[in-house]
Amino acid sequence: MPLAININDLLNKQKIESNRIEFKKGWNPASIYHSVCAFANDFDDLGGGYIVIGVDTDEATGVAIRPVEGIPTEKIDGILQEMVGYNNKISPYYMPRTSVEEVDSKSVLVIWCPAGINRPYSVPENVTAKSNTKEYFYVRSGTSSIIAKGEVLDELRELASRVPFDERGNPDIKIEDISTLLLREYLVKVGSKLANELYTKPLEEIMEQMDLYVGPKENRMLRNVAAMMFCEDPSKFFKRTQVEVVYFPEGRLNNPNNLYEGPVIKGSITQIIDRTLEYLNRMLVMQTVIKPKDSSRSQKFVTYPYQALEESVTNSLYHRDYREWEPVVITVEPQGITIQNVGGPDRSISAADISRCEILVSKRYRNRRLGEYLKELDLTEGRSTGIPTIQNVLENNGSPRATVVTDDERTFFRITIPCHEAAGNIIADIAHKDGSLKASKRGVLKTGLQSGLESRLQSGLESALQTAPKSALKILEQIHINPQYTLTELAKQTGYSRSWVAETMKRLQEQGIIKRVGSDKTGHWEIIGK
């Protein structure tokens, strides 16, 4: 059975945390099944783990030694047959997935142990013993599997009813809701061999191999995470799974009635993340160069470091409570951008840690499988490094620190990323870039260019723009953003044909609204009297 992840990523301990991977030089079922049990219990809600047999490790680094030891091909069938009996010794019954992979021209056996839905699990101390041996509950401690005792055992037993939301079966999700295009895109990106089988095997079989079904044979249900990742419209099952963008040109506190509604971004979770980041990068990430009076060297900064936005947006979708009918809301103000999702941080994170906004370490994740997928796609590291990364890139950019807020009930999580203090109010420029922005019923944003054009129209320019007012205004807005735009670039930015842009530009020049300064190649456009 092919893995849903690339074998080389496992060997190099990439995309998967080290404590979720265990290498074994040879087949030793007694110790191996301690780890199978520990991964199935998934005490820290990390998503289970992988045991790779036929691989030796460097004692100092824990990294796989290449070329690998491998397992003789003639022994693999025997090992797989043995595992059938050993699986029956896990209580309650648990069956890990197996895959034989070719590495360095040798065979290795990968045992994939997803987090179990019937935890806690126990296993005999020695599964190979003919007589009954004492059973223990095992958990992971770092990169080792240990016996759960005391408070850890008590907490493990309490986990029986705590199946993360994204792991739960959902009877409303049908196989027809799964997009093979999204599924294939994911499998290709992570380097899974399943991508080659997607169009030769039934989709149900592929989903089974990816552990995306749950429940007895007579009532198999797709897990919630299947719709989150591989459905074009997961809001069909999780209402208002979307990102909404709102602008307050004067600030939410200064004038809450003056707001501008940006786009509503939908799709699968990865599509929402990608589309949101593309939009924010295009709208908000602007580079500025300043030359201080007391220095001969120029200083470069951006309004918002892209990596800070990437971490914040990804985490908001990762940690969102999909049982709540509330979108992720991004609020843009002159002083910064705020990203808020429903479902606050786990109570294992103290209020003091939240207030410090440094490292937020949670023991419980409501969407552990979703996080696993996002890590495999390099959208998040998943090692509680999100906040430190954000703070570091802001510091390197010369920006103020980010802040986080939640309430006593932990119903929401809000992070605010400050705009660089030297950038000024960029919202007017954003309005020029985004033709989809619309005024709220409560107020209207008038950009500097729009206000100037309106006043000029009122001064007698109505006839100048009468023939094509919309196209003319869009062209003028783009010139305001970048006076160096060529006719071809203006056509691309506005969506009009080049000939139409050329004709409109000629008319605007004839009417004294714009002029060309310099040559056709190196010059620029100027809006007269703007």
Mean pLDDT of 225-235: 95
SS (H, E, C) 438-506: EECCCCCCCCHHHHHHHHHHHHHHHHHHCCCHHHHHHHHHHHHHCCCCCHHHHHHHHCCCHHHHHHHHH
Which of helix, strand or coil describes residue 212? Answer: coil
Q: Determine the pLDDT at residue 459.
A: 44
CA distance linking residue 287 with residue 298, whole number of Å: 13
Q: Of 110-124, 429-443, 509-523, where does the model show the most confidence?
A: 110-124
Q: Determine the pLDDT at residue 260.
A: 84
Q: Determine the pLDDT at residue 460.
A: 39
Percent of the chain with pLDDT over 70: 83
313 or 154, higher pLDDT: 313
Q: Determine the pLDDT at residue 265.
A: 94
CA distance linking residue 471 with residue 465, whole number of Å: 9
Quickly tell me which residue has 């065979």 as its tokens. 107
Q: Determine the pLDDT at residue 51.
A: 96
Mean pLDDT of 55-77: 90
Nearest to 337 by CA among 287, 291, 284, 267: 284
Query: pLDDT grade, residue 216 (50/70/90)?
Result: low
Give the pairing of strands 221-223 and 213-214.
antiparallel
Mean pLDDT of 83-97: 93
Q: What is the pLDDT of residues 136-160, one digit of tens each?
A: 999 998 889 999 998 888 888 877 6
409 or 464, higher pLDDT: 409
Q: What is the pLDDT of residues 381-431, one digit of tens each?
A: 555 567 888 999 999 999 999 998 888 788 888 999 999 988 877 776 665
pLDDT of 124 strictly over 90: yes
Q: Determine the pLDDT at residue 429.
A: 63
35 or 383, higher pLDDT: 35
Instruction: Give the H/E segment covering residue 515.
Output: strand 514-517
Mean pLDDT of 116-139: 89
**Looking at 187-191, 239-243, 271-275, 364-368, which range is the least confident one?**
364-368
> What single string gives the DSSP state of each residue in 112-155?
EEPPPSS---EEES-TT-SS---EEEEEEETTEEEE--HHHHHH
Are 123 and 138 a contacting pair, CB within 8 Å? yes
Query: pLDDT grade, residue 349 (50/70/90)?
Result: low
Query: pLDDT grade, residue 205 (50/70/90)?
Result: very high
Q: Determine the pLDDT at residue 91.
A: 92
Q: Determine the pLDDT at residue 446.
A: 43
Can you name the residues that pair with 416 across neighbouring β-strands? 338, 403
Give the pairing of strands 221-223 and 514-517.
unpaired
Task: Take residue 228 and report the two structure tokens written for it.
Answer: 């989150």
Are 226 and 232 a contacting pair, CB within 8 Å? no
Q: Determine the pLDDT at residue 27.
A: 96
Q: 234 to each of 168, 180, 241, how far by Cα in Å?
A: 15, 15, 7
194 or 5, higher pLDDT: 194
pLDDT of 19 strictly over 60: yes
Mean pLDDT of 119-134: 89
436 or 366, higher pLDDT: 366
pLDDT of 492 strictly over 80: no
Cα 327 to chain centroid distance, Å, stands at: 15
Percent of the chain with pLDDT over 90: 44
Are 311 and 415 a contacting pair, CB within 8 Å? no
Q: Determine the pLDDT at residue 506.
A: 83
Mean pLDDT of 178-206: 92
pLDDT of 330 strictly over 60: yes
Q: What is the pLDDT of residues 241-277, one digit of tens each?
A: 999 999 998 888 888 888 888 889 999 999 999 999 9
Q: Which amino acid is at 525?
A: W
> What single string gives the DSSP state of each residue in 222-287?
EEHHHHHHH-S-GGGTSTT-SEEEEE-TT-TTT-TT--EEEEEE-SSHHHHHHHHHHHHHHHH--E
Q: Determine the pLDDT at residue 463.
A: 43
Q: Determine the pLDDT at residue 4.
A: 76
CA distance linking residue 231 with residue 245, whole number of Å: 23
**Looking at 69-73, 354-358, 408-412, 457-461, which range is the least confident one?**
457-461
Domains of the chain: 1-162 (3.30.950), 164-237 (no CATH), 243-418 (3.30.565.60), 446-527 (1.10.10.10)
pLDDT of 451 strictly over 50: no
Are 432 and 480 a contacting pair, CB within 8 Å? yes
Are 125 and 89 a contacting pair, CB within 8 Å? no
Q: Determine the pLDDT at residue 447.
A: 42
